[in-house]
Amino acid sequence: MEALRGTGMHGGRPASVCFVPRKGPVRFASRGHAVGLHSLTVAHTRRSTAVNGPCGVVSTVEHAFAALAGAGVWRDVCVEVDGDELPLLDGTAAPYFDAIDALAITPCPPPMVIVSEAVIEVEASRYEFSPGQDVHVEVSLEWHDDRLAPSASWRGSKTDFRERIATARTFAFERDLSFLGATGLARHVDPASVVLIARDIHFAGRPFTSDEPARHKLLDLIGDAYLHGGPPIGTVRAYRPGHTANHAAFARAKELGVLAARRV
C-alpha cells in the first residue's frame, strides 16, 4: 500500500495518507494511534472539514471520506494519516478513490438509512430527507453566475462516482482571493489543482465544464455525510450546502430520528 503524498491545501506542510486493509469497522489513525470512524468529531469547518483525530486535529478529510463512500467501503480499512492535514493532490478525490479501489474491498451499503421525511434548515441552507430504496444525493446552488450549472446529483453508483464526481476539482472565486491571501490559506496550492472562477475561468489540464463546481460541492457533501454514516439510503436534497451546514444537518437528522442504523 503506497502512501499518497503531497502538501496540505491550507497549511502547506507535507502530508500523506495511506489506506491499509484491516478487518473490522473503518478506523482513522495518526501518529501511530487509531480510533474508529464513529469516534471522530468535527473540530472546525473553515473552508474544509477538520476532525478531532486520535492525536490532534486533522484537516481537509472530506475528499478521502467521499472516496470511501463512493467506493462503498464502510469497513475493513484504516485511514493512516501523517501530518495535520490530508494532501490536496490534484484537487479531486480521484487519487483517493483509486488507492481505495486497488484494495479490492467488497462494497457494502451505507450503515444509515432515512426512515422519515424531514426538512432541516441551517441558516441559509436547507436539507430535505426522504426515505427510498437507494442512495440519492442532490445539491442545488445559487451561483449568481450564468456560466455555472446550478445543480448536480449522484445515485450511489461506484462507476459514476469515479467518472463524474471524484474528478471534480477544487474551485475558488476571485472574491475569495483577498481573504485567502490575507490568511495564508491555499498559499502552496498548485494552480493546476484548482479552478479559478473570475471574469474569465482559469484552469489547467483537462477542460472545465459548467457543472464541475456543482459536482465538487456534491463531492464535499458526500464526504461530510460519510462522517455521519452516509450518504444514507434514501434521498437527500441539499440547497446551498456548505461544510458547516452539512454537519449540522446530518447531526440534527440523527437527533430527530430521521436517520437510523440500517438493519443488517
Spatial distance between the Cα atoms of 128 and 153, rounded to a whole number of angstroms: 14
Rg (CA), the chain: 17
Cα–Cα distance list, 109 to 91, 177, 180 (Å): 27, 40, 38
191 contacts 96 by C-beta, under 8 angstroms: no
45 contacts 223 by C-beta, under 8 angstroms: no
CA torsion 254-94-153-28 (nearest 10°) is: 0
Query: Which of the residues 63, 136, 228, 243 is marked catalytic?
Result: 243
118's enclosing H/E stretch is: strand 118-122
- The three grid cell numbers given for residue 245, joined into one nine-digit string: 451546514
- Active site (annotated) includes residue 243: yes
Provide the 3-class DSSP secondary structure of residue 72: coil
159's enclosing H/E stretch is: helix 158-160
Question: Which are the catalytic amino acids?
Answer: 243
